[in-house]
Amino acid sequence: MALSAASPSDRAAQLIALTIRLGERLVGETACLEAHRPQDIYEGIEETRNLSNLYRHESMRIKSDPSLLNGLTANEKKALREATELFQERLHRYELAVTAAKTVTEGIISAVAEDLSARRTQNSPYGARGRTVVSGPQSFNFGKKA
């Protein structure tokens, strides 16, 4: 998927629209994460993924061939720069929210795994010298079958 632009001005306008739309998606998803409602993101995740891939693809294309934006007016350059800066700010806030959600989720999973392991160790058989045999981290599956 790529932008189909007839001129550098057209490409800049499409890139600005893409950057603004992706930034708006990130603002909405950040709000969901900050409200501790990550399940609300699920419905629009595919659109965000598609926009992100298109943005990444176009950014790489322009980086490898800067002539795609040759001939832009000062106003077009300014608008593109401002849209990109706003997007970067929104992306940074989104990154912080995702990192926080990831940290909390990993902490919960780790606590459950430690508790489960401790409960299983209490019932484990004795080994050499009367010590319990610790088999290390185990599956959450109580039947130990994956």
| C-alpha dist (Å) from residue 32 to 13, 29, 40, 43, 90 | 29, 5, 6, 12, 14
Residue 112: HSE in the Cβ half-sphere, 13 Å Cα cutoff = 10
Most confident of 64-68, 79-83, 112-116, 135-139: 79-83
Please state which CATH class domain 8-123 belongs to.
mainly alpha
State residue 142's pLDDT score: 55
Residue with the bigger pLDDT between 145 and 89: it is 89
Phi and psi at 132, nearest 5°, equal -75, 150
Residue with the bigger pLDDT between 29 and 116: it is 29
State residue 115's pLDDT score: 80
Average pLDDT over residues 119-132: 61
State residue 121's pLDDT score: 58
CA angle 25, 2, 67 (to 5 degrees): 110
Which of 46-50, 83-87, 116-120, 126-130 shows the lowest per-residue confidence on average (mean pLDDT)?
Answer: 126-130
State residue 5's pLDDT score: 74
Residue with the bigger pLDDT between 146 and 8: it is 8
Residue 128, SS3 per DSSP: helix
Return the domain boundaries, the chain.
Answer: 8-123
Residue 137, SS3 per DSSP: coil
- The reported pTM is 0.75
Question: CA–CA separation, 19 vs 17, rounded Å?
Answer: 6
